[in-house]
Amino acid sequence: MTEYDFWKIFPRMPKKVTIGDITIRDGFQHEEKFISTAAKKFYLEELIFAGCRHIEVTNLGSSFLMPQFRDAEELLAHLRSDRFKKRCEKKGVSYDDIVFTAITIREGAVDRAIELREKGIGPDRLLMMVSTEEEHHFANSGTTLPDYWAEAERCIKKCNNAGMKMCGTVSTIWGSPIGGATDMKDAVEFTKRFLEIGAHDIEHADHDGSASAPAVYRYFSMILDEIPDPRLHIAHFHETKRVASASVLAALQAGIINFEATLGGLGGQPANFLDDCPTKGTGDYYYEDPRYVGLVTIEDTLVQIDEMGIEHGYDVDRILWLGKQMEKTISRRLRSEAIINGRTLKEGHMQFARPGLKKRKEKLGEESGQTLPKEWSPKAVLPEKYRPES
């Protein structure tokens, strides 16, 4: 007989997951208008109050290249303030459970994070990134892979000595927008290298929507066979072909417990235009139509995971409300379908019922809940030609 229990078919699939939000950093970095500091503070706070415990706050790289993050220190200072800590206490949020991450692609940004740490406003966790395809890596970092690995080793030592953790991101796992096809075995090896030089966890990134569900399942199965502790691994999917939800499911089936997403599916390369002025960013965009750029949405991902019965720790309705507010902040329709269609309500939507069903059933002599004619047998008898072979 067919096995119907999902968790018996996929025994590694978790019953509980962590979903980190990276809207304020990855989501906003592709926007070609400056998102106000007040708005950033609002969404940082509200995401935390809605259940987020792993949140990317900002990018500590050059504000000349990425002026969207010129308010980095103000955001970190706000989150370290007594006022915010008291607000967390009033909301029943354990402040010590929150992990604040800042992106530090190059050594100068790591040094800046250490200085902020010494001031008492530094992040808990930093992030550096390699791509297995070197042209993509060079576009992101401006240096070669061997040179960057040596820099990352230095930075991780500095980071650890300062009491912060380092996440190592491995990108172009399923393909590169510049160099094309890649070998997933390279990403497994790069993951091991990051852990070898002291990284605390690994973000496994599909940065351009190249991933397919079978390849995602295969890759994360390979990863967990080689490095079996699921706490070390984070899945990061971009949405360019409307198939990222399938990648999330495939990662779950493989045994991944940590995910990242953004409100509305925002995100993409650092903008090369802000407000009324061209900026450097990371150069030309990899894609022609910005409508098809961004991450998997936290709204839709939460609804998907919630309806699977997997524990996640979020107030889903609050997140859906935040998604609606984000569309006003960004001033355009974003990717989430759940903010429009909502959750699948077990009690239904009785406001759409047509009047008169009860009276019609009474007139026909039918009982409440009766779905078949009384003279029919209680169980259907399937014609023999349609029955499964014994």
* CATH number of residue 84's parent domain: 3.20.20.70
Confidence at residue 141, expressed as pLDDT on a 0 to 100 scale: 92
pLDDT band for position 79 (cuts 50, 70, 90)? very high
Q: Report the length, in residues, of the chain.
A: 390
pLDDT band for position 347 (cuts 50, 70, 90)? confident
Confidence at residue 289, expressed as pLDDT on a 0 to 100 scale: 77
Question: What is the Cα gyration radius of the chain?
Answer: 24
Q: Does residue 384 sit within a domain?
A: no
Confidence at residue 303, expressed as pLDDT on a 0 to 100 scale: 96
Average pLDDT, the chain: 95
pLDDT of 309 over the 80 cut: yes
287 against 367, higher pLDDT: 367
Q: How far is CA 329 from CA 77, 97, 262, 276, 319, in A?
A: 23, 28, 14, 18, 15
Q: How far apart are CA 168 and CA 21, in angstroms?
A: 17
- Cα(first)–Cα(last) distance of the chain, in Å? 10
Q: Does residue 36 sit within a domain?
A: yes
Q: Does residue 368 sit within a domain?
A: no
pLDDT band for position 282 (cuts 50, 70, 90)? confident
Q: Does residue 366 sit within a domain?
A: no
Confidence at residue 389, expressed as pLDDT on a 0 to 100 scale: 86
pLDDT of 210 over the 90 cut: no
Q: Does residue 315 sit within a domain?
A: yes
Q: Does residue 357 sit within a domain?
A: no
pTM recorded for the entire structure: 0.93
Q: How far apart are CA 130 and CA 205, in angstroms?
A: 10
Confidence at residue 351, expressed as pLDDT on a 0 to 100 scale: 87
Total count of domains within the chain:
1
Confidence at residue 192, expressed as pLDDT on a 0 to 100 scale: 98
Q: Does residue 353 sit within a domain?
A: no
Question: Where in the sequence is the domain holding 52, given as residue range(s)?
Answer: 16-341
pLDDT of 293 over the 90 cut: no
Beta-carbon contacts of 275 under 8 Å, excluding residues fewer than 6 positions away, are: 32, 33, 34
Q: Does residue 347 sit within a domain?
A: no
pLDDT band for position 209 (cuts 50, 70, 90)? confident
